[in-house]
Amino acid sequence: AQSVTQPDIHITVSEGASLELRCNYSYGATPYLFWYVQSPGQGLQLLLKYFSGDTLVQGIKGFEAEFKRSQSSFNLRKPSVHWSDAAEYFCAVGENTDKLIFGTGTRLQVFP
């Protein structure tokens, strides 16, 4: 069955620290992969996406993600977290833009 697993429900980091959010997927073919961010009471904003090519993808707000086919993973990273990064982060997969399968999300808390 197609699924997305985000094993960390809640992560707390200090401002300025590095960040890695984990995402593993189960999908029949090589899927399109996405990371979205959701601030409280807001909709989702696309951080980055992977369709093909270079497995290290750069996104907005200083985020990047690396696609590792052998591990079925697409982990999100940021070298130095800012307080404004506190939000919920969702990993998603799909054959294209429609009918995305989302993980349950990782809530990021940032301490000053």
Partner 1 sequence: NAGVMQNPRHLVRRRGQEARLRCSPMKGHSHVYWYRQLPEEGLKFMVYLQKENIIDESGMPKERFSAEFPKEGPSILRIQQVVRGDSAAYFCASSYGTGTGAEAFFGQGTRLTVV
Instruction: Please report which helix (H) or strand (E) contains residue 90, including its range.
Output: strand 87-94
Give the C-alpha separation, 56 to 10, whole Å. 24
Residue 39, classed as helix, strand or coil, is coil
Binding to partner 1 (CB under 8 A) within 91-110 occurs at 92, 96-105
CB of 105 to partner 1, least distance (A): 5
Binding to partner 1 (CB under 8 A) within 12-51 occurs at 32, 36, 41-46, 49, 51
* Nearest residue (CB) to partner 1, 4 versus 81: 4
Q: Is 54 in the site for partner 1 (CB under 8 A)?
A: no
Q: At residue 83, what are phi and psi to the nearest 5 degrees?
A: -60, -30
Which residues form the interface with partner 1 (CB under 8 A)?
Answer: 4, 32, 36, 41-46, 49, 51-52, 90, 92, 96-105
